[in-house]
Structure 1
Amino acid sequence: MLTQLQLDGNGPLHAQLTRALKQALATGQLRQGSRLPPTRFMSQQMGVSRNTVLAAYEQLRIEGYIDGRVGSGSYVTLPARPAPAPVETPPLPPQTRFAARARQVHDQDNLPGKRVPGVRFSFQYGAPYTHPAVTTAWSRELGHAALYTSPGYPWAQGLPELRQAICEYVLRRGVEARPEDVVIVAGTQQAVSLCARVLFDPGDPVAIEEPQYYAARVILQAYGAQLQPVPVDDQGLIVDALPATAPRVIYTTPSHQFPQGGTLPPERRAALLDYAARNSTWIIEDDYDGEIRYDARSLPSLKSQDEHGRVIYVGTFSKTLFPSLRLGYLVVPRGLRRDFISAKWMEDFGASAIDQAALAGFITSGACDRHLRRSLVALRERRDALLNGLHRMNEGRLSFIDTQAGMHIPVWLNHRDREQGHQFVDRARRMGLGLYSIAPYYLDPPDRAGLILGYAGLPVGDIEQALDVLRQCLDAEYGLRRH
């Protein structure tokens, strides 16, 4: 690199070489910490005497550009420059109606469920269950995929081998699909985004559960949906409360209502499908953790009972594997297939082909099922530890329901309003415990203190210690009652 140094011909040779080296520093040819060539080598390359090089290096050392180390050589140590003062630039007005809506509904700095820094234990929902075996198996599949996957652009719809594997995978949820019905997406968020692009225009009514999955709600709002909240109870969406004037779309989590936890019973499922068929309404079925159940009462998906082709089925591997994978899938009605593929192509040309190939191998090898079985055992142990601890400390202070599914438990603080709930969360954080309010998951939060306790990311021992802190918080909130 330095053999291209040019001497300018002005003045003594050592001064010319010094200027040439400074130019190399200024243009980045020589970077902080890099070693300069030995003086003998430099003199040969530049056609000058070694004393000339020594004089140039010494001048750079005096000016603070290099540092000579005995027995090692000379290294670049650029003079420290004062950091420029930050320039405060006022925010620009939103440039589109989409940007204006997104600003209104989405605060990047205050996302619900975001990891709380500085706490010892955190009941964070969305933290995955991890095990060394899944890391090892995934690394093996990823390495194989990196070697044998085509380096070209992936199929926008998704690799055929992964779509075939997913067709077999969703049979456990009762979904019969062909590979051409499947679109691979970057998680549930992108799935909902594509549904918004394909199924409704800004201003169209969209029904959504109240409470609901925050990210889905924000995406629908950003795309201009006029949201119609529909209440839920301990069995999920109250179908009789759907609006008389049918919406274009209904977003629902029938297998495990998020965040309340109910499972939509058969009669309501039939009524919901009938409502959609009669009113030409589309249903987005978010089956975000349908595989994670701890009893034998696992109902098939809503999609499996859809005789009129009104359900768009959304699945993800964020819960069964890990959220950093960013892969999910849509099973779409055949009449909308081309629209969804076009929307995906316009979004990003297609998900990572290497990750898709690795996931296909992970599923077809049986590693995914092995991990799921292992996960269910561990998650049941963690859930039982949490539930048992909540029962022991309850003393009439808490209300909660065991939904026999998922990776979180909604908990209500009895006789406390929403503001007192926020204060309770703050107290817990000061004591080293991360708690999360349920209020952000409502369009219109009730004046009641509620929490979401996620347990997947905490081993049993940590859950027990976290419960000790939670008990102390409850004792401080309600007054110590034990003798």
Structure 2
Amino acid sequence: MDLVLDGNGPRYMQLVRALKQAIASGRLPGGTRLPASRDLARDLVVSRTTVVAAFDQLRAEGLLTGRVGSGSYVNAPASPTQRPPVARRSVLPQSAYSRRARELHDPDDLSGRRLPGMRHAFQYALPLVNAALNTAWLRELGRAAPYVRPNYPMPQGLPSLREAICKHVTRTRGLQCTPQDILVVSGAQQAISLAARVLVDPGDDVVIEEPQYFGARTILQMHGANLIGVPVDAEGLRTDRLPNRPAKLVCLTPSHHFPTGAVLSLSRRIDVLQYARQCAGWILEDDYDGEFRQDAQPVPALQSIDRDGRVLYVGSFSKTLFPSMRLGYIVMPSGLHDDFLAAKWAADFGTPALEQAALAQLITTGAYERHLRAASKRLVERRHALCDAIVRQCGARVTLRPSHAGMHVLAEVTGLSAAEGVQLIRHARERGLGLYPATNCYLDPPDRCELLMGYGAMSTRDVREAVTLFAACLDSWALRAHGPALRLAHSR
């Protein structure tokens, strides 16, 4: 315990004053268990008698409580004497990276998070809840625990997990790879960050989809990339709008574009591969939920038709399993193998081994694929429930983008501007419904109201109830916003 004796008077009173100061400042809040008298005496280099006398004095003053067989605990003071929290000292950014990060990242941003007090929320970042999967995961963690070595994990990832991932993606996604090509990372967010470190210098041109996954965009901007937004239509990225000058990196979600749901057509896949070859650039393929193909056969990954080794394939278990697991992987082009391993080593020495070992078993035993099949079936039901309910209850007021995979749809509220969309979202939250705008998915947001409507963590009953509430919010907001004009028109 970090206590400083002031040197004035008896030792036990010095210790009493030091402990009082720690309690008053909040360093020892109510309920804190103090070290045993022998341990504290050893740490402070005083006699145990001194510590016992100090504890007795504090108990007499009501600041400590002794519990038989347990120890001494701090009592919360009757009248709080803690100092008010010290405001964070403002300093100028100490690096160009910090300056960009401050401009781009708001730690208080609630985009995509569950809001308190909501009856329903179309939160798009949450995966499907599966009690059987939770049980299987806990079982595999318990089995793996006795066999995981306590030293640092391999930076590239456990061989058992890399082999399991390799077999899975070659069979289900058509990838061309070996276990040596797999790098285990802490989720897709780290994969994108490592790609930015390895491939992008400040000022380099990077092509992104418009709209796009905002997490990738923010990371690239923090690294100083010059982003070039290329529009997306029903066939995915408009390859005819790729820049004439060479780009260092092209970031894509070709199997299920985020957020529109478009699938990149074969002809455009060939175009973008040719563009990367001509530029001597690279393609980052973010396959964040491509395994949840619901109404058709899974689309093979872009990497599966890459003949030049220029595609970095990024996969994640955040959507298919649990976001809290923080596990994902990169299928590395062979020419970048050593660079990515060095970047991963510098980032964290390696991803936690216990979770890797448990996941390897989950995949190897077939439990992971069984979960994917069951989850896909349930997601189909929820998506159909969402789309049917919106068509039935909202009619022409809401337009849905076609989507055949994943756990969300993109909806446009007809005739509403972006500013009116903000008002609608605020109104819905007042009525207990969480709505989420798509504005942050754009470099240049359009002046219309678009909503990301997630359904992965909702039951079909919840989906229908939420849509009913959504339709009611549209009605009441329209009356609030245009009621006076409607009443005036009616009176005339």
Quickly name the TM-score band, shorter chain normalised: 0.7 to 0.9
| C-alpha distance 367-46 of structure 1, shift in aligned 2 (>3 A) | closer
Which protein shows a greater Rg?
1
SS, match of residue 395 in structure 1 = helix
Q: Tell me whether 1:193 sits opposite 2:196 in the alignment.
A: no
Cα distance, 1:22 vs. partner?
A: 3.6
Q: What is residue 283 of structure 2 aligned with on the other side?
A: 283
Q: Tell me whether 1:351 sits opposite 2:358 in the alignment.
A: no
> Whole-Å Cα distance in 2 between the matches of residues 430 and 211 of structure 1?
28
| C-alpha distance 439-68 of structure 1, shift in aligned 2 (>3 A) | closer
Contact 2:186–2:326 (Cα < 8 Å) also in 1 = yes
Cα distance, 1:64 vs. partner?
A: 2.6
| Cα RMSD (Å) | 3.1
Q: Tell me whether 1:129 sits opposite 2:107 in the alignment.
A: no
Q: Tell me whether 1:65 sits opposite 2:68 in the alignment.
A: no
| C-alpha distance 23-271 of structure 1, shift in aligned 2 (>3 A) | same
Contact 1:208–1:251 (Cα < 8 Å) also in 2 = yes
Contact 1:206–1:225 (Cα < 8 Å) also in 2 = yes
| Paired letter, 1:165 | A
| Paired letter, 1:115 | R
Q: Tell me whether 1:307 sits opposite 2:290 in the alignment.
A: no
> Whole-Å Cα distance in 2 between the matches of residues 258 and 309 of structure 1?
24
SS, match of residue 394 in structure 1 = helix
The answer for unaligned runs of 5 or more in structure 2 is 2-6, 37-46, 487-492
- Deviation sequence 1:358-391 (CA, Å, 0-9, x none): 1111110111111111211211111111111011
> Whole-Å Cα distance in 1 between the matches of residues 114 and 178 of structure 2?
39
- Deviation sequence 1:46-76 (CA, Å, 0-9, x none): 99xxxxx9x9998655533346899x99975
Contact 1:113–1:436 (Cα < 8 Å) also in 2 = yes
| Paired letter, 2:195 | C
Cα distance, 1:83 vs. partner?
A: 1.6
Q: Tell me whether 1:298 sits opposite 2:298 in the alignment.
A: yes
Cα distance, 1:478 vs. partner?
A: 4.2
| Paired letter, 1:160 | P
Q: Describe how 1:42-441 pairs up with structure 2 within 5 A.
A: 62-66=60-64, 77=75, 79-80=77-78, 81-171=80-170, 172-441=172-441
- Residue range with higher mean Cα deviation, 75-84 or 267-276: 75-84
| C-alpha distance 58-331 of structure 1, shift in aligned 2 (>3 A) | closer
> Whole-Å Cα distance in 2 between the matches of residues 310 and 73 of structure 1?
62
> Whole-Å Cα distance in 1 between the matches of residues 13 and 161 of structure 2?
59
Cα distance, 1:88 vs. partner?
A: 2.9
> Whole-Å Cα distance in 1 between the matches of residues 65 and 185 of structure 2?
52
| C-alpha distance 433-22 of structure 1, shift in aligned 2 (>3 A) | same
Q: What is residue 42 of structure 2 aligned with on the other side?
A: none
Contact 1:251–1:285 (Cα < 8 Å) also in 2 = yes
> Whole-Å Cα distance in 1 between the matches of residues 136 and 444 of structure 2?
44
> Whole-Å Cα distance in 1 between the matches of residues 455 and 207 of structure 2?
30
Contact 1:185–1:330 (Cα < 8 Å) also in 2 = yes
> Whole-Å Cα distance in 2 between the matches of residues 153 and 315 of structure 1?
24
> Whole-Å Cα distance in 1 between the matches of residues 121 and 382 of structure 2?
14
SS, match of residue 422 in structure 1 = helix
SS, match of residue 232 in structure 2 = strand
| C-alpha distance 141-88 of structure 1, shift in aligned 2 (>3 A) | same
Contact 1:25–1:31 (Cα < 8 Å) also in 2 = no
| C-alpha distance 64-226 of structure 1, shift in aligned 2 (>3 A) | same
Q: What is residue 462 of structure 2 aligned with on the other side?
A: 462
Cα distance, 1:299 vs. partner?
A: 1.7
| Paired letter, 1:281 | G
Cα distance, 1:211 vs. partner?
A: 0.4
> Whole-Å Cα distance in 1 between the matches of residues 92 and 295 of structure 2?
52
SS, match of residue 284 in structure 2 = strand
Q: What is residue 44 of structure 2 aligned with on the other side?
A: none
Contact 2:126–2:456 (Cα < 8 Å) also in 1 = yes
Contact 2:262–2:402 (Cα < 8 Å) also in 1 = no
> Whole-Å Cα distance in 2 between the matches of residues 240 and 252 of structure 1?
15
SS, match of residue 396 in structure 2 = coil
Cα distance, 1:188 vs. partner?
A: 0.8
| C-alpha distance 347-56 of structure 1, shift in aligned 2 (>3 A) | closer
Contact 1:316–1:328 (Cα < 8 Å) also in 2 = yes
Contact 2:393–2:468 (Cα < 8 Å) also in 1 = no
Runs of 4+ in 1 over 4 A off after TM superposition: 16-21, 23-37, 55-62, 66-70, 72-76, 78-81, 478-481
Contact 2:181–2:331 (Cα < 8 Å) also in 1 = yes
Cα distance, 1:146 vs. partner?
A: 1.6
| C-alpha distance 144-418 of structure 1, shift in aligned 2 (>3 A) | same
TM-score with structure 1 length normalisation? 0.87
Contact 2:211–2:441 (Cα < 8 Å) also in 1 = yes
| C-alpha distance 20-82 of structure 1, shift in aligned 2 (>3 A) | closer
SS, match of residue 314 in structure 2 = strand
> Whole-Å Cα distance in 2 between the matches of residues 67 and 299 of structure 1?
65
SS, match of residue 300 in structure 1 = coil
- Residue range with higher mean Cα deviation, 408-417 or 394-403: 394-403
Q: What is residue 4 of structure 1 aligned with on the other side?
A: none
Cα distance, 1:408 vs. partner?
A: 0.2
Cα distance, 1:446 vs. partner?
A: 0.3
| C-alpha distance 21-267 of structure 1, shift in aligned 2 (>3 A) | closer
| C-alpha distance 23-144 of structure 1, shift in aligned 2 (>3 A) | farther
> Whole-Å Cα distance in 1 between the matches of residues 244 and 173 of structure 2?
31
TM-score with structure 2 length normalisation? 0.86
Aligned residues: 457
- Residue range with higher mean Cα deviation, 261-270 or 27-36: 27-36
Q: What is residue 13 of structure 1 aligned with on the other side?
A: none
> Whole-Å Cα distance in 1 between the matches of residues 143 and 423 of structure 2?
50
| C-alpha distance 342-59 of structure 1, shift in aligned 2 (>3 A) | closer
| Paired letter, 2:288 | Y
> Whole-Å Cα distance in 2 between the matches of residues 36 and 248 of structure 1?
57
The answer for unaligned runs of 5 or more in structure 1 is 2-7, 11-15, 38-44, 48-52
| Paired letter, 1:371 | H
Contact 2:16–2:54 (Cα < 8 Å) also in 1 = no
> Whole-Å Cα distance in 2 between the matches of residues 116 and 173 of structure 1?
35
Q: Percent identity over the alignment?
A: 48
- Residue range with higher mean Cα deviation, 78-87 or 167-176: 78-87
> Whole-Å Cα distance in 1 between the matches of residues 202 and 406 of structure 2?
33
